[in-house]
Structure 1
Amino acid sequence: MDNKGKYALITGATSGIGFELAKLFARDGYNLVITARDETELSNARTTLIESGVEVVTIAKDLFDREQAFALYADIKQLGIEIDVLVNNAGQGVYGQFDKTDIDRELMIIDLNIASLVILTKCFLTDMIARNSGKILNLASVASKLPGPWQAVYHGTKAFVLSFTEAIREETKDTEITLTALMPGVTDTDFFNKADMLDSKVVQDEDAMADPADVAKDGYDALMAGKDKVISGLKNKLQIAMANLTPDRLVAHQLNEQQKPASQE
């Protein structure tokens, strides 16, 4: 497929799954618009990505602020760039029992994981519908299917992302536009450090962590195939299959045992 001249926009593109996705798009000839909060990290990512011979535009935005999501769209329009693929990858969590966690931080996470994703999807989908072409990849999670004690807000936001993606996919089924949800499990990224989650039992089991490059490849392949969603990793597929047959209260209990601090053993 000739992707020359096409652009993919990837949020949270300087590390982890987002950076691995950016490398896959660049390998296949897509020009990139990458965004994150840190100018230095964006510059470092760009240095690596331009080795593929594609154009890489960096735009620093803090998507914890929903207004900056609107500003990102405006900046891209001002540059005259048409986005062929939108990847809503940026997301964060916070770890702890809900009655003890910081509500201001949780509201910021809701703005990042939900509000900014909805804004960018709305803006770029409108353009895609006008020309009847485009692809959108939204980072959901196996968390979207599992009630998550110790990460109640994060799991709730990812349930929104999956439901939202499936709904818009149905609305656009008679167009040439596809929406895909990528559902990774525990992955070896900086997510857990940022979520203050390093004491969690599930994080301390390093053998259980997926390689972000493998997760990105699963998501990229599903996106290009036009699939509605993909659960990355056999273990995660089995976990979701079992959860679908198990009462929610028991799934919540199992997740509580997996995600509580190791010190509580």
Structure 2
Amino acid sequence: MIDVKGRWALITGASRGVGYETAIYMAKQGCNLVLHSRDKRHTQKVEAEVKAFGIQAYTVKAELANHEEVLSMLAEIEARGTQVDIVFNNAAVQVGYRTDYWKTPVEDFDISFRINFTAVTTICYNLMPKMVERGFGRVINTTSGIQDQPEQAAYSASKAALDKFTKDLASKLQGTNVMINLTDPGWCRTDLGGPGAPNSVDSCIPGIVVGAFIAEGKSGRLLPAQEFCGMTLEAAVKKAEAM
């Protein structure tokens, strides 16, 4: 199992929900954090909380729908000299539920792909080559199990594109000690999932982070967070490595 103490992780969407749970858990493991949100004021609380665990942390901002802001965020991280070893591409948008799905506006697809797909690929293309050069890296991309719901076609399609991107890129990483995998937090009671979701947000721990700790070198897998609910990190890693 990988020891993340002293390493740096970038978490997108770190101010609330699954991103917040990820930040707190990783801080408890001694991992330093770059905390992303659309506005640095949104991550002030979590920044203070994670620093209480004795780690280093700072915030960055970017509207992920804006490609130039994503590039600016990545440039700031590089200018600070931060060596990002782990990435949790957690942030996403789920646009309105289109009951009359035949009239789904093209804008739904535009914003969904900008945030849920293009921003992720930009982050991967910027940070992963440096991971390969250093001989270590872990990238966990957050997908969704939604299917057979054309009412949410834009969200589902953007996540399907992310799945394909992740699996294809994974084929090039054998022997690099850089791994890219997918996780699905399940349907959780978050701002995105809504109050009617069956799972509490903390149920995604430790499954949502397990991809950062596995060591056997395999990429391109789906690690559904709910399958690890209630497990210790050690047990979750052992299960993940056998999947």
1:121 is matched with 124
Structure (1/2) with the larger helix percentage: 1
Q: Is the 8 A contact 2:8 2:84 kept in 1?
A: yes
Q: Pick from 197, 208, 214: which aligns with 1:225?
A: 214
Q: Is the 8 A contact 1:134 1:176 kept in 2?
A: yes
Alpha-carbon deviation of 1:56? Answer: 1.1
The reply to whether residue 175 of structure 1 matches residue 176 of structure 2 is yes
Moved over 6 A (4+): none
- Cα deviation code 1:119-147 (max 9, x no counterpart): 0011111111111211001001112xx23
The reply to whether residue 110 of structure 1 matches residue 94 of structure 2 is no
Q: Which amino acid aligns with 1:64?
A: A
| TM-score (ref. length: structure 1) | 0.77
**1:120 is paired with a residue of what secondary structure?**
helix
Separation in structure 2 between the aligned mates of residue 213 and residue 176 of structure 1, nearest angstrom: 29
Q: Which amino acid aligns with 1:233?
A: Q
Alpha-carbon deviation of 1:101? Answer: 4.2
Separation in structure 2 between the aligned mates of residue 84 and residue 233 of structure 1, nearest angstrom: 25
Separation in structure 2 between the aligned mates of residue 53 and residue 102 of structure 1, nearest angstrom: 47
| TM-score (ref. length: structure 2) | 0.84
- Cα deviation code 1:43-88 (max 9, x no counterpart): 1121221111111110111111122221111110000000010111
Structure of higher CA gyration radius: 1
The reply to whether residue 153 of structure 1 matches residue 154 of structure 2 is yes
Q: Is the 8 A contact 1:222 1:229 kept in 2?
A: no
- Cα deviation code 1:82-133 (max 9, x no counterpart): 0010111110111214444443354122100010000001111111111121
Question: Relative to 1, partners in 2 of residues 1:3 and 1:210: Cα closer, same or farther, differing over 3 Å?
Answer: same
2:22 is matched with 21
Q: Is the 8 A contact 1:179 1:223 kept in 2?
A: no
Question: Relative to 1, partners in 2 of residues 1:2 and 1:159: Cα closer, same or farther, differing over 3 Å?
Answer: closer
1:164 is matched with 165
Identity of paired residues, percent? 25
Q: Is the 8 A contact 1:13 1:35 kept in 2?
A: yes
Separation in structure 1 between the aligned mates of residue 45 and residue 190 of structure 2, nearest angstrom: 17
Separation in structure 2 between the aligned mates of residue 163 and residue 182 of structure 1, nearest angstrom: 13
1:81 is matched with 82
Separation in structure 1 between the aligned mates of residue 181 and residue 150 of structure 2, nearest angstrom: 26
Q: Which amino acid aligns with 2:223?
A: V
Question: Unpaired runs of 5+ in structure 1?
Answer: 194-202, 235-265
Q: Which amino acid aligns with 2:214?
A: A
**1:218 is paired with a residue of what secondary structure?**
coil
